[in-house]
Amino acid sequence: MDVRIGVTYTPKEIEVELSDDTDHDQLVASVEDAISNEGRVLWLTDRRGRRVGVPSNKVAYVEIGPGSGDRRVGFAAL
């Protein structure tokens, strides 16, 4: 599962690739809890075990999508 986080005052996004067995509903609840309380930090752990923390007051948006296996890169005839 891929998560993209927009951060205020910067054009770059933070991209975190979570393990495929991540519970979608629990992830959404964690994001909502972190951004609804000021002074909190949104913590995510990627599939390699690295932890990423974003202060909740700096989160502009969060996009949750399917894993990167669904992406196609390059030119191909279908």
pLDDT at 68: 57
Range of the domain at 13: 2-53
pLDDT at 72: 56
Tell me the mean pLDDT in the region 5-28.
92
Neighbours of 4 (CB within 10 A): 13
pLDDT at 73: 59
Q: Confirm whether 27 is domain-assigned.
A: yes
With b for 16 or more beta-carbon neighbours within 10 A and e for fewer, the 10-45 pattern comes to eeeebebebeeeeeeeebeeebeebbeeeeeebebe
pTM of the model: 0.77
Please tell me the total count of domains within the chain.
1
Average pLDDT of the chain to the nearest whole number: 86
Q: Confirm whether 7 is domain-assigned.
A: yes
pLDDT at 65: 87
Q: Confirm whether 66 is domain-assigned.
A: no
C-alpha to C-alpha distances, 18 to 37, 39, 40, nearest whole angstrom = 23, 24, 21
